[in-house]
Amino acid sequence: MALRNRILFWAFIALVVASLAVWAFSPRAVDVDIVEVQRGAMTVSVEEEGETRIHDVFEISAPVAGQLERIGLDAGDCVYEGETVVAVIKPIAAPVLDSRSEKQLSAVADAAAAAVRAAAAELDRVRAELSRAETDANRYRQLAPGGSIARQVLERAEAEERTLQAAARAAEAALAMRRQELAAARAALRPSSASEGGELIDVIAPIDGVLLRRLRQSEGPVAQGAPLVEVGDPDEIEIISDLLSEDAVRISPGDPVTISDWGGPDLYGKVRRIEPFAFTKVSALGIEEQRVNVVMDLSPGQPSARLGHGYRVDVAVEVWSADDVLTAPMTALFKQDRAWSVYRVERGRARLRQVEIGHVNGQVAEILAGLEPGDTLVEHPSSRIEDRVLVRARQPVGPLVEESPGMTADAVPLSASWDTDASGCDFLIR
């Protein structure tokens, strides 16, 4: 009896050891994340940062040199075409001539007067010759029909008449030019009204809009052509973004655009123009890139009044879309032997499959061949995943922070209504 018990005991121990050995050396399933192949809509977009700008920015410059009075307008103030005075300038006084300069200018004026007399004399001479030639030509025209003179004599007379007519016109133009030179020379000798305290010059706004910025504010001397202020119409907002040249060639005018990350709800628009000239830009990593400016317009009715000139936005230009395509997450795809592949889960095992993909948008890829709707794939396959390896779906981790009642996944809620006339300018509501 004792022998039997001992046999049974050691048999039980052997069975336990064998079971432990089998468990220890048997293959174990690898915990993995699972994603599913789905059919639905897909969009491919080119995404980049952009910048807003007013379509037409008018830089108002000083029309004359003089003393600029302090500009009282502030950035954002409304201006009206032909009404609003944006700046006031007192023209600079003409410099007082010294005796030497006066003598030089007097000599120039005398020379100009002599040139006028010479041009007038030349005009008189040409007119006299022209009168004689016209008389001869008229006489020959009367004699030619009767055969009193040869036809060649009449032709020579008419040719001379035409030549002298042209010479007379040239002499008249020369005389007019000499008279202008004389007037300029005399004006240089004559003090202008500005030297006697000339009238102030008002610089008037050329358009209805707002003052974007003051390039000059304080009183002081200003040169002719110096920029004073910039004005523009805030309703004429456009978006410009510099895209990589390989992305720009995929875009066409009219492509839909989504504008985001500007501080408000997403805006929508369309591509208006792809500029034909590329430029070189150095990226943050120090890489030279060929960039192309793409100009986009906002669709009518957008709350663009809160956007100003030079604001940063994110743009996404839609270059391709489809309503019913087979897609798989990019996190499940990888390259093997220069072919796109996935690990499809079949009966608890990961099976390597090659797939053919089409369009890619960064999140999902269009599957052209190799998969079917509902197929489950291993996401982010590690080095432990091989063909025929046992896999097990990893349990999802719950939320780290419990949402409060009424809390949504969106960011801070925005105002339900947007003022489309934030500037308050009358011209915007006329």
Q: What is the pLDDT of residue 147?
A: 74
Token representation of residue 69: 């009075």
pLDDT band at 408 (very low <50, low <70, confident <90, very high): very low
Task: Tell me: do 221 and 349 sit in the same domain.
Answer: no
Task: Tell me: do 318 and 172 sit in the same domain.
Answer: no
Instruction: Give the CB-side neighbour count of residue 80, counting CA atoms within 13 A.
Output: 8
Q: What is the pLDDT of residue 411?
A: 41
- 317, pLDDT greater than 90: yes
Task: Tell me: do 174 and 264 sit in the same domain.
Answer: no
- 321, pLDDT greater than 80: yes
Task: Tell me: do 259 and 319 sit in the same domain.
Answer: yes
Encode pLDDT of 218-238 as tens digits.
Answer: 899 998 889 999 998 888 889
Task: Tell me: do 107 and 87 sit in the same domain.
Answer: no
> What is the mean pLDDT of the segment spanning 134-138?
87
Encode pLDDT of 62-73 as tens digits.
Answer: 888 888 999 989
Task: Tell me: do 74 and 112 sit in the same domain.
Answer: no
> What is the mean pLDDT of the segment spanning 295-310?
82
Q: What is the pLDDT of residue 410?
A: 43
Task: Tell me: do 144 and 212 sit in the same domain.
Answer: no
Q: Evaluate whether 357 touches 15 at the Cβ level (below 8 Å).
A: no
> What is the mean pLDDT of the segment spanning 171-193?
74
Q: Which domain holds residue 158?
A: 99-190
Query: pTM here?
Result: 0.58
9 in a domain, yes or no? no
Q: Which of 15-19, 142-146, 289-293 has the lowest mean pLDDT?
A: 15-19
Q: Structurally, how many domains does the chain consist of?
A: 3
The set of residues, in sequence order, having a beta carbon less than 8 Å from that of 129 and lying 6+ positions away, is: 164, 167
Q: Evaluate whether 346 touches 282 at the Cβ level (below 8 Å).
A: no
For the residues of 145-195, what is the DSSP string, one character each?
GGTSS-HHHHHHHHHHHHHHHHHHHHHHHHHHHHHHHHHHHHHHHSPPGGG
pLDDT band at 155 (very low <50, low <70, confident <90, very high): confident
Task: Tell me: do 332 and 203 sit in the same domain.
Answer: no
CATH label of the domain that carries residue 219: 2.40.50.100
- 262, pLDDT greater than 50: yes
Q: What is the pLDDT of residue 396?
A: 57
Q: What is the pLDDT of residue 424?
A: 60
> What is the mean pLDDT of the segment spanning 4-28?
64
58 in a domain, yes or no? no
The set of residues, in sequence order, having a beta carbon less than 8 Å from that of 48 and lying 6+ positions away, is: 241, 242, 243, 247, 314, 315
Task: Tell me: do 134 and 44 sit in the same domain.
Answer: no
For the residues of 268-308, what is the DSSP string, one character each?
EEEEEEE-S--EEEE-TTS-EEEEEEEEEEEPTT--GGG--
Task: Tell me: do 180 and 317 sit in the same domain.
Answer: no
Q: Evaluate whether 254 touches 270 at the Cβ level (below 8 Å).
A: yes
* Average predicted confidence (pLDDT) for the chain: 82
Q: What is the pLDDT of residue 175?
A: 84
CATH label of the domain that carries residue 386: 2.40.30.170
DSSP assignment, residue 426? G
- 419, pLDDT greater than 70: no
Give the residue with greater pLDDT, 13 vs 242. 242
Q: Evaluate whether 262 touches 414 at the Cβ level (below 8 Å).
A: no
183 in a domain, yes or no? yes
Encode pLDDT of 186-208 as tens digits.
Answer: 777 765 444 444 578 899 888 88
Task: Tell me: do 204 and 134 sit in the same domain.
Answer: no
Task: Tell me: do 321 and 217 sit in the same domain.
Answer: no
Cα–Cα distance, 199 to 221 (Å, whole number): 16
Q: What is the pLDDT of residue 153?
A: 81
The set of residues, in sequence order, having a beta carbon less than 8 Å from that of 30 and lying 6+ positions away, is: 350, 382, 384, 385, 389, 390, 391, 392
Phi, psi torsion values for 108, nearest 5 degrees = -65, -40
Q: Which of 137-141, 346-350, 423-427 has the lowest mean pLDDT?
A: 423-427
Cβ neighbours, 10 Å, residue 183: 13
User: If DSSP codes are grouped into helix, strand and coil, which group holds residue 358?
Assistant: strand
